[in-house]
Amino acid sequence: MQITLSPQRRDTAMTLSRTGDTLTINGAVYDFSAVREGETLPQAAAACDWLASDVARIDGVLHLTLILPHGAHAPQETLFPAPLTLTSDGPVTLPAFDLPPEDEPLP
């Protein structure tokens, strides 16, 4: 699964895990197994507030973009995240939501 992250300022962090073609986002389950090779599932049809793109299967790999929430003092890695390539099931490590108070940059 190939996930592009689209940073967006929000007050709540995201938890993400993968099981096959299924993503669990903040406890809600989204199963993309019905998307066949060469098909695209429109973003609106997925009924997922975290999805920021259509979902497509290309060469057997699901491709999608998720909103990456971040706090007011997010680090550079969160503001400009690298795409995620998920090859195994389980919890997904996301960039930090916010910097700890002692690491906040000075104005």
75-91 pLDDT per residue, tens: 999 999 999 999 999 99
Residues 6+ apart with CB under 8 A from 88: 18
Q: What are phi and psi of 32, to 5 degrees?
A: -105, 15
Of 5, 41, 49, give the one whose Cα is nearest residue 21: 41
For Cα atoms 41, 44, 49, give the angle at the middle one, nearest 5 degrees.
Answer: 110
CA distances from 82 to 15, 57, 72, 107 (A): 17, 20, 20, 26
| 6-53 confidence digits (pLDDT tens) | 999 999 999 999 999 999 999 999 999 999 999 999 999 999 999 999
